[in-house]
Structure 1
Amino acid sequence: MRIGFFGGVREIGGNIILMESNGVGIVFDFGRRFPTSQVFFNDTIKGRPEKGFEDYVELGELPPFRGFYKNELSEEKSLPIEIGGLFFSHAHLDHIGQICYLSDSLKKYMTKGSFATLSYFVEKGIVECMPSNIEIVDGKTVQIGDFKITPYFIDHDVPGAVAYFVETPKGLVIYTGDIYFKGVKSELSNKFVEYAKSLRPYILITEGTRIGWNGIVSNTEPELKEQIKEVASVFKGLIIGNVYEIHLTRIQTFFNAASELGKKFIIHEDYASTLLKYGEFETIASEILNAPNTFVYAPFESKLNIPKEKFVTKDELVSNQVNEILLLNFSHIPELIDIKPIEGSAYIMSGGEPLSSVDPLNTKILENWLSKFNLPLFRIHSPGHASETEILWMAKEINPEILLPIHTQIPERFKVVHANVQVLEKGILTEF
C-alpha cells in the first residue's frame, strides 16, 4: 500500500490525499489553495486556455491522476493508477473547491451536509458547476479495490463533516478531516477519538491547522454569545454580524443572542438560503428560520421559498435598528449605503470573509467601509479547528503506529507526542 500527499503539505488547505494498493487508488479531498500558498497561479495568472488544467499538473499545482479529470492526461504525464473514487471530508472550499476539474465518470462521495453546502456554492457561482456522479455516503461503507471506507461524523464549523476509517491490506488507516472540540456537537469529536483509540490504527492522517498559532485557545459558542450580548449592552444601535454563510452553529449563536436580548434577528437572504438547505437534515436550521423573531432581508425580489411575511423591507429594517441584530456578509456590505446605521451601531466579525490573514486587500476595503459609517469593529470568533493542545492530545490518545500530519505548516510539532511521525513530501508516494 502506498500513500501520497498532493496538497496540504506544509500549508493550510488544498488537501489532496492518495491511497493506492495493487494499482487502484482512492483520493480524499480536492481543495483550492489559499492565496498565501499560491506559487505559480492566482486569479490573474491562470493556466493557458489551450492547455487547460495541464499547466497546473505540469507545475505540481494539480496531481497527475489518470482517469481523474474531464480531459484525460497523456500516459507519460500521469501515474499508472486507476482512481476508483474521491471522498470529501467536508465542503469547505480548501477541501472541495476544485471539484469542477473532475471527470463526470469519477465517483464522488460526500455527506448530505456537504452536498447541501456544495449546492449553495454552485447557486452563488462560487463553484462553477454542479458535478455529476455524486453519491451520498452517510451511514455507508464503500468497497473500492483493496480498500473499505467508512465515514464517521465529527464536529467542525460546517454541517456534514466526517473523518474516514479505511481498512487496508496493511491495517486500519484513519483520516481525521478537519476536527473541532469546542462546538455544539463536540461529543461527536470526542467519541471519534475514543473509538479511533480502541481500534489501534496502523496510520493516523491528521490535520494540524492551528499548530503554531501561538497557543490561541478556543471559545465555546455560549461564551461567544455572551460576548455578543456584552457588545449589544453598550452599543444600543444596530448590531451587524459577519458570519461565514455556511457556519450554521455561528448563525445559531447570533440567533440565541438576539432572542435573549429580545431583538429581531434579521438575516440577509444568503444566510436564509443555507438555512433552507440545511433544514432538510438539521432541525436547528429550520427552527431558526421559522422562529417568530427571525426575518429575511432581501434588497431585491427574492426567489427563496419563504413566506412573504418573513421578509423585512429596507424601510422596516432602517426604522427599528435599536431592536435588531443583522447578519450581513462582506459581499453585500454596500447595503450600508441604504441602511445608514445609526449612532451607537457596531460591527462584529465572527468568521466571515474577508479573512485578514489571507486576504489583506479586502480586509482594508472592509475597514474603509466601517470607517465611512463610523462602525466600531469587534472580533468575536473562535476558529473551527482544534487548538494546538487539543490536536496534540488527540494524536497522543489515538496513538497510531505511524502518524502522518497534513494541513499544517509545522508537521514536526507532532513529534512532541508521538515517536513515529513521518512528514511526507508533496507528490511522493510512500510505501507503508
Structure 2
Amino acid sequence: MKVRIHRGTQQIGGTCIELAAAGDRIALDFGLPLDGDATDTNLVPEIAGDDLRGIVISHPHIDHYGLLHHLSGNTPVVMGAAARRIVQAAAPFTGQPLPLLNGPDLEHGKTIEIGAFRITPYLVDHSAYDAYSFLIEAEGKRIFYSGDFRAHGRKAKLYEHLVANPPKDIDALFMEGSSLSRLESDESFPTEIDLEAEIVAHLKATKGMVMFHTSTQNIDRVVTLYRACKRTGRPLIIDLYAAAILAATENKNIPQSDWPGIHLYLPKLQAIQVKKNEWFPLLKQHSANRIYQEQLKEIGRNAVILFRPLMRPDLDDAGCLDQASYIYSQWAGYLEQGTYASTEAWLKTLGIEMRHIHTSGHASPKDLKRFAEALAPRALIPIHSFATDKYSELFSNVVYRQDGEWWEV
C-alpha cells in the first residue's frame, strides 16, 4: 500500500491523505485549510482519476470536508449517516457548497470494502458529532487514521474502550496532535462535566439574559448548555439553524426544538432567508415552541440564548439585555484572528464583559500518549498539528513525512 499526505504534516486543518493499493485509490478527508478560501482551486489536492474509488470523511468539520465540492459529482463520499445529514442541513444557512454526497454510510465497528481497501470505522469522542477513526487494510498492510478525537467529552467511554481494546499489528498510525501547540505535556483540558458546573455557576450569578456563543454543530456543548439550563430553571432559546442541526442528528437524546424548556426564535436576518428560499416547511416543523421579538423581553431576563452574531440587532431592538452576560465557548484563536471583532465592539458599547468557558475538541498530550502506546504502531506519522517537532519527544517509532511525498507502508 502506498501513501501520500497532500496536506497535514505541518499544520492543523485541510487534511487529505491519499492511499493506493492494487490499482485502486481512496482519500481520507478532503478538508479546507483553516485560513483557506473554499473557491480557491489551488488548494484542491490532485487526486482525480478513474481509479479513485471514494473519499472517506472522518467527521463533519469543514477543515476535513470543505473542498469536496471541487470533486466530480459521481465521486462516492463515505461518511457517517448523521454527519452527512448535519452538513446537508447546515449548507443552506452557511452557503458552504457541497456535491451530492452520495456514498456508503459509516457505522461503528462495521467493516466496509471500497475497491482493494477494507475500512473499519471506530466512533470517537470529538466536538464534531458522528466522528470516526479508521482502520484501513490493503495488500496485507494495516494503517490506522486517528481523525480528530479527545478523551474528555461526553463520549469519553469510546476513547477508553479503544485504548483498552486496540486493533493489533498496526503498520502505520496517522495521529493528530492539535493540542501539542496549546498545552504542555503534563497539562489536561477541562471535561464537559467541568464546563457544565462552571456554566451553572455563571447562570446562577447572572440576573439577566445569558448569551452563550458556541458552534451549534458542537452537539456536546449544546447538551452541556441544555443541562445547565435545566439545573438552573432557565429556558434555552435557539434559532432555526440550531433547530435544523439538532434535528439532523436524529438522536432522541439530543435536545430538540419541541422539547420543554426550549424556545425557537427566528432572527430578522434568518426570516429574510426563510422568505427568499421558501423554507416555510422547515420553519413550520420547528415552530411548536416559537416566540417572537416582543417575548424576548418578557422571558429574556431569565433565559439563555444560543447566540449568533446575526442576532445582535434583534437583541438591541427587544431591549432585553439589562444585566445580561456573554459566554464565549469556542477556540480562542478566532478572537485572536479578529473573527468576532464586531461582536466584541458591540459588547463593549453595552458594557458587557466576555467570559470564556470552553474546552478543546482534541486530546491532551497525556491522552495522545496513552492512545499511541495502546496501538503500538511500527511507525507513527505526525499529522494535523502545528507542533510536529514534539512528537519525537513524546512518542515511540515516530517517522516524519512531507506533504506530497509518496511512500510505501
Q: TM-score, normalised by structure 1?
A: 0.86
When residues 118 and 382 of structure 1 are mapped into structure 2, their CA distance, relative to the original with a 3 A threshold, is same
Partner of 1:239: 210
Matches within 5 A, 1:257-406: 257-278=228-249, 280=250, 282-285=251-254, 287-300=255-268, 303=280, 304-306=283-285, 308-351=287-330, 355-357=334-336, 360-406=337-383
Partner of 1:428: 405
Rounded Cα–Cα distance in structure 2 between residues aligned with 1:271 and 1:121 = 9
Rounded Cα–Cα distance in structure 2 between residues aligned with 1:144 and 1:95 = 20
When residues 316 and 354 of structure 1 are mapped into structure 2, their CA distance, relative to the original with a 3 A threshold, is farther
Counterpart amino acid of residue 293 in structure 1? G
Q: Is the counterpart of residue 414 in structure 1 residue 378 in structure 2? A: no
Provide the aligned C-alpha RMSD in A. Answer: 2.1
Partner of 1:84: 53
Partner of 1:50: none
Q: Is the counterpart of residue 63 in structure 1 residue 45 in structure 2? A: yes
Say if 1:238 and 1:325, in contact at 8 Å, map to a contact too: yes
Partner of 1:217: 188
Q: Is the counterpart of residue 94 in structure 1 residue 76 in structure 2? A: no
Shift of residue 339, structure 1, vs aligned partner? 3.3
Rounded Cα–Cα distance in structure 2 between residues aligned with 1:217 and 1:107 = 38
Identical-residue share of aligned pairs (%) = 24
Counterpart amino acid of residue 268 in structure 1? D
Shift of residue 426, structure 1, vs aligned partner? 0.6
Rounded Cα–Cα distance in structure 1 between residues aligned with 2:258 and 2:406 = 50
Rounded Cα–Cα distance in structure 2 between residues aligned with 1:133 and 1:214 = 39
Q: Is the counterpart of residue 31 in structure 1 residue 31 in structure 2? A: yes
Consecutive unaligned residues of structure 1, counting only runs of 5 or more, are 48-52, 69-81
When residues 179 and 171 of structure 1 are mapped into structure 2, their CA distance, relative to the original with a 3 A threshold, is same
Q: TM-score, normalised by structure 2?
A: 0.90
Matches within 5 A, 1:87-236: 87-139=56-108, 140-196=110-166, 198-215=167-184, 217-236=188-207
Rounded Cα–Cα distance in structure 2 between residues aligned with 1:328 and 1:210 = 27
Say if 1:193 and 1:398, in contact at 8 Å, map to a contact too: yes
Shift of residue 148, structure 1, vs aligned partner? 0.8
When residues 232 and 166 of structure 1 are mapped into structure 2, their CA distance, relative to the original with a 3 A threshold, is same
Shift of residue 352, structure 1, vs aligned partner? 7.4
Consecutive unaligned residues of structure 2, counting only runs of 5 or more, are 275-279
When residues 384 and 91 of structure 1 are mapped into structure 2, their CA distance, relative to the original with a 3 A threshold, is same
Rounded Cα–Cα distance in structure 1 between residues aligned with 2:157 and 2:197 = 22
| Number of residue equivalences | 395
Say if 2:243 and 2:286, in contact at 8 Å, map to a contact too: no
Instruction: Provide Cα deviations, 1:17-37, integer angstroms capped at 9, x if missing partner.
Output: 0111233211000010011xx
Rounded Cα–Cα distance in structure 1 between residues aligned with 2:345 and 2:69 = 35
Partner SS for 1:355? helix
Say if 1:392 and 1:414, in contact at 8 Å, map to a contact too: no
Say if 1:329 and 1:353, in contact at 8 Å, map to a contact too: no
Instruction: Provide Cα deviations, 1:30-77, integer angstroms capped at 9, x if missing partner.
Output: 010011xx5xxx48xx65xxxxx3xx1xxxx32222328xxxxxxxxx
Shift of residue 354, structure 1, vs aligned partner? 8.0
When residues 23 and 332 of structure 1 are mapped into structure 2, their CA distance, relative to the original with a 3 A threshold, is farther
When residues 346 and 257 of structure 1 are mapped into structure 2, their CA distance, relative to the original with a 3 A threshold, is same
Partner SS for 1:356? helix
Counterpart amino acid of residue 83 in structure 2? S
